[in-house]
Amino acid sequence: MLTAITRAFRTPDLRKKLLFTLGIIALFRLGSVLPTPGVHAENVRRCLEQAQAGDAGNIYGMVQLFSGGALLKLSVFALGIMPYITASIILQLLVVVIPRLEALKKEGQAGTSKITQYTRYLTIGLAVLQSTAFVALARSGQLFQGCSEPVLLNDDVFTVVTMVITMTAGTAVIMWLGELITDRGVGNGMSILIFTQVIAVFPSELMNIFRRNAFTFAIVMVVGIFMIAAVVFVEQAQRRIPVQYAKRMVGRRMYGGTSTYIPLKVNQAGIIPVIFASSLLYLPQLVTTLFATQTQQNVVIQWISQHLVTGDTPVYMATFFVLIIFFTYFYVSITFNPPEVADNMKKYGGFIPGIRPGRPTAEYLNYVLTRLTAPGALYLGLISMVPIVALAVAGASQNFPFGGTSILIMVGVGLDTVKQIESQLQQRNYEGFLK
């Protein structure tokens, strides 16, 4: 393992990429701790301590997780890459709904880059909305409930507007940093930035648990290691459907005749369903905070704030679980299209032994995929339920360090990045990290 790392650093090309990625990450973290001008940093720190002691700051769960604690610090990069994720989700859903976008997606490279461009515009729009919302919350003192100290230095309109614009620009910078990593560094930039933020809150969370109770700490560590192993196991699991290619003679050359396989992963959708579901379940919280100030409470709002805001009610758990399973199937159906794969195979003279090419192949692939996705969806649902159940049973914090989503992100992004480094290493020598 260590020799592989030294070898990675001895390859000049790869060394440059790795150092570039590390540099961008350092910049990103710097921006995440730098307070936005106009914020009373000292008061914010005091309020944060209060919130952590009273577990009141946890209502922003998912957003806080993705921003690595930057959000409640009201730093320059407070919004993190959440706007980008939300924009991506919205566009993914719109592709299914709007015919024009669907046509663009079918166009291939050019169409996809156009959709990416739309995602970027939408990201800025969402960033403006979210930063306005958060600065407004901070201004009215609702960001930290039960903390009376003023978070902003002075709340005239000019300062507030400056803050909003700065945060929006921060989101744009994050987007750019992510793209730079994708372009010139190692791995996919956006996921590496999420990874960084998830990892960043890790040590302090672990220290919190350790300080509270050393025995719990030991249990958490053991459970966490087991969970990581389990997640790696399932992430790597795949079903290989054999494909035989027919031999063809073109002129005097022989083509084909090879036998390969289509790898169908058990968890084909990756972590996206969890992110979709969490983002959707974040909406009721947003609605209730918006209507919380109204004196006369409506029945629907009351029901929502009773059942859908905190994670320990059965209704919330059930909704979360069902949403994850739905989105797993939804996302797999978007990313893997059996008729298309079958068509492509037929075009190049490939077939699955024992099954006719064309429609029967598509049906067979569909059959296998739907059955394969069932355990995958259940697995995603169960893993992401772990922190919620832990919250209900043991009273642990919602930012439980080995929470399902964080583990899924850590393992997923980690594996992916290591694989990419490995494929770069293998261009020069044969041995990599994974044996």
Partner 1 sequence: MTIGISIALILSSMLMVLLVLLHKGKGGGLSDMFGGGFSSSFGGSSVVERNLDRLTIITGAVWFICIIALGLILRP
Q: Which residue, 93 or 318, is less far from partner 1 as judged by CB?
A: 93
User: How many C-beta atoms lie closer than 10 Å to residue 338's C-beta?
Assistant: 19
Interaction residues for partner 1, span 173-202 (CB under 8 A): 173, 175-176, 178-179, 182-183, 188-191
Q: Interface mask (CB under 8 A) for partner 1, residues 217-256, using x and -? A: ------------------x---------------------
Token duo for residue 298: 């409506």
CA 364 – CA 259 distance, rounded (Å): 18
Chosen residue from 64, 67, 130, 168 binding partner 1 by CB under 8 A? 168
Q: Which residue, 118 or 291, is less far from partner 1 as judged by CB?
A: 118
Q: Is 426 in the site for partner 1 (CB under 8 A)?
A: no
Shortest CA distance to 126 belongs to which of 57, 33, 63?
63
**DSSP-assigned states of every residue in 288-302:** HHHHTT-SS--HHHH
Handedness of CA 307, 312, 313, 314 (dihedral sign): positive
Q: Which residue, 34 or 56, is less far from partner 1 as judged by CB?
A: 34
Q: Which residue, 288 or 404, is less far from partner 1 as judged by CB?
A: 404
Phi, psi (degrees; rounded to nearest 5) at 56 = -90, -20
Chosen residue from 3, 53, 97, 158 binding partner 1 by CB under 8 A? 158
Let me know if 215 is exposed, middle or buried by CB neighbors in 10 A (0-12, 13-18, 19+). Answer: exposed
User: Cβ contacts of residue 224 below 8 Å, gap of 6+?
Assistant: 401, 402, 407
- For the CB of residue 400, give the shortest distance to partner 1 in the complex, in Å: 21
With beta carbons less than 8 A apart as the criterion, state whether 193 and 177 touch: yes
Handedness of CA 240, 244, 250, 254 (dihedral sign): positive
Q: Is 287 in the site for partner 1 (CB under 8 A)?
A: no
* Residue 337 backbone class (left: φ over 0; alpha: ψ -120 to 50; beta: rest): beta
Q: Interface mask (CB under 8 A) for partner 1, residues 297-336, using x and -? A: --------------------------------------x-
CA 52 – CA 46 distance, rounded (Å): 10
Q: Is 272 in the site for partner 1 (CB under 8 A)?
A: yes
Q: Which residue, 49 or 149, is less far from partner 1 as judged by CB?
A: 149
Chosen residue from 68, 69, 80, 270 binding partner 1 by CB under 8 A? 270
Q: Which residue, 270 or 401, is less far from partner 1 as judged by CB?
A: 270
Q: Which residue, 25 or 390, is less far from partner 1 as judged by CB?
A: 25
DSSP letter at 147 equals: -
Q: Interface mask (CB under 8 A) for partner 1, residues 98-137, using x and -? A: --------------xx-xxx-xxx--x-------------
- For the CB of residue 137, give the shortest distance to partner 1 in the complex, in Å: 20
N residues, the chain = 435
Q: Which residue, 182 or 289, is less far from partner 1 as judged by CB?
A: 182
With beta carbons less than 8 A apart as the criterion, state whether 415 and 237 touch: no
CA 220 – CA 215 distance, rounded (Å): 9
Q: Which residue, 190 or 201, is less far from partner 1 as judged by CB?
A: 190
Question: How many of the chain's residues bind partner 1 (CB under 8 A)?
Answer: 57
Q: Is 205 in the site for partner 1 (CB under 8 A)?
A: no
Query: For residue 192, what is the enclosing H or E element?
Result: helix 189-200
Alpha carbons within 13 angstroms on the beta-carbon side of residue 385 total: 21
Interaction residues for partner 1, span 42-101 (CB under 8 A): 42, 76, 84-85, 88-89, 91-92
Residues that bind partner 1 (CB under 8 A): 34-38, 40, 42, 76, 84-85, 88-89, 91-92, 112-113, 115-117, 119-121, 124, 153, 158-159, 161-162, 165-166, 168-169, 172-173, 175-176, 178-179, 182-183, 188-191, 235, 265, 270-272, 335, 409, 412-413, 415-416, 420, 423
